[in-house]
Amino acid sequence: MGTPARTGAPVTLTIDGFEITVPEGTSVMRAAAEAGLQIPKLCASDNLEAYGSCRLCVVEIEGRRGTPASCTTPVAEGMAVRTQTPRVKKIRKGVMELYISDHPLDCLTCAANGDCELQDMAGAVGLRDMRYEPGQNHYDPFGIGTLAQGDARARSTGDLGNPDYIPKDDSNPYFTYDPSKCIVCSRCVRACEEVQGTFALTIEGRGFDSRVSAGAALDDFMSSDCVSCGACVQACPTATLQEKSVTELGTPDRSVITTCAYCGVGCSFKAE
Ligand code: FES
């Protein structure tokens, strides 16, 4: 996996019938974007290496079997790509159903409401309803935490809580980490490595048990190698990593990308 390297020689292909010429090594997703065609995506981000994990960006390519991820597939001369076939639309919808089935349905009270890529992508693929029961992965539908944490309420209501629930990490003074909203796209992990070069984050566990961790299993952000640069927060597509100022004051009116030697992530302003 990884972003194909753009090496320069021009390559001409068609995407949804549009003829496009881009440098060799360009990904199909980037070629489509340069032609003004947006392919749904979650784990890809303009300033990070492609990862190919969410499978939302799948396309069909004439003469090839399967549905490759457009973010990790380099263009080729004469390639004919289709981004909106019934087959890829069905796959994307299925992928989004799985993501949403394991995500808290609290959009109306979520700090990222209106600024959430998961929400945007659910709309982009036309998801209206879900065939699956809401999941229980790191998720606390009753708001009572683990049985131990919610013991009093559990005794009075009979709700047993979710033993897999991991409480929100509030240890960092600038941002919170809420595992229940994480889609494990690894954008935060890659931003920590590629933007900041800190390697403070990792993904531990497999399948439903996988989650982003700040170092050793029980480390919180403040006791990890995190330097509070904010690259992970900028990269997060949901409210998993959320600036405390946004929770308290609302979404910033303006953001700038800086060349500041300290972090290079950029600063946000909330106008009075
Ligand atoms: Fe391509 Fe996630 S955006 S696999």
CATH classification (class only), 7-132: alpha beta
pLDDT for 45 equals 93
Is any ligand 1 atom within 6 A of the Cβ of residue 13? no
In sequence order, the β-bridge partners of residue 267 are 256
CA distance 13 to 37: 14
Please state the atom number of ligand 1 nearest to the C-alpha of residue 52: 4
Residue 148 CA to ligand 1 centre (angstroms): 38
Is any ligand 1 atom within 6 A of the Cβ of residue 213? no
pLDDT for 124 equals 95
Residue 63 CA to ligand 1 centre (angstroms): 21
CA distance 141 to 165: 10
Residue 83 CA to ligand 1 centre (angstroms): 13
φ and ψ at residue 87, rounded to 5 degrees: -65, -50
175-266: in CATH 3.40.640.10: no
Token couple for 82: 């289709």
In sequence order, the β-bridge partners of residue 211 are 204
pLDDT for 241 equals 94
Is any ligand 1 atom within 6 A of the Cβ of residue 153? no
In sequence order, the β-bridge partners of residue 268 are 255
pLDDT for 143 equals 52
Q: How would you classify residue 53: left for phi > 0, otherwise alpha for psi between -120 and 50, otherwise beta?
A: alpha
Residue 96 CA to ligand 1 centre (angstroms): 12
Instruction: Give the amino acid at 199.
Output: F
Mean pLDDT by 10 residues, the chain (272 residues): 72 97 96 96 94 96 96 97 97 94 87 92 92 66 46 46 70 90 94 90 84 74 87 94 82 66 60 48
Is any ligand 1 atom within 6 A of the Cβ of residue 71? yes
pLDDT in tens, 150-189: 444 444 444 445 556 677 888 899 999 988 899 999 999 9
ipTM: 0.99
The residue extents of the domains of the chain are 7-132, 136-165, 175-266
